[in-house]
Amino acid sequence: MSKQISLTLSDDAVQRAEILARGGGRNVSEVLAEAIELSLNPLGTAVIDSRPAREWTDEQVTAAADSTMPSSERERMSELLDRQREGLLSFADRDSLDKLMQAYHAGLLRKATGLQEAARRGLRQPIFESTP
């Protein structure tokens, strides 16, 4: 299901979307819709557990605390970052890198949340001790 809405964007944002749309042979509304969806759902189509960490089971907490990005995704992200640094990224590569970076950041946030909750429950030692 989808809804149509109206947005007011800066000229700069619209101009960047137009450039991306032209480069990818798409229309601006598709580019903007995808950008918004990606920014709101860092893991793409995966469902994010929106429950507070306090409601997670111990197994979910330790799984989050121990989570890492799969090596294939890490290697691909590294390759794309190298190509970006060299100025060799295509539009398709940029899209792939954006998705991988979103997943990486979401994974870091989930891991940090898991580590914090694991320390609160006494399942792990705190990484940093707070000082009174």
Would you write out the chain's pLDDT as a tens digit for each of its 132 residues?
Answer: 788 999 999 999 999 999 988 888 889 998 898 888 777 665 444 445 678 999 999 999 999 999 999 999 999 999 999 999 999 989 889 989 988 998 898 889 899 999 999 999 999 988 876 666
- pLDDT at position 34 is 84
- pLDDT at position 47 is 45
Phi, psi (degrees; rounded to nearest 5) at 39: -70, -30
- Cα(104)–Cα(81) distance, rounded to whole angstroms? 13
- pLDDT at position 111 is 92
- Cα(88)–Cα(42) distance, rounded to whole angstroms? 25
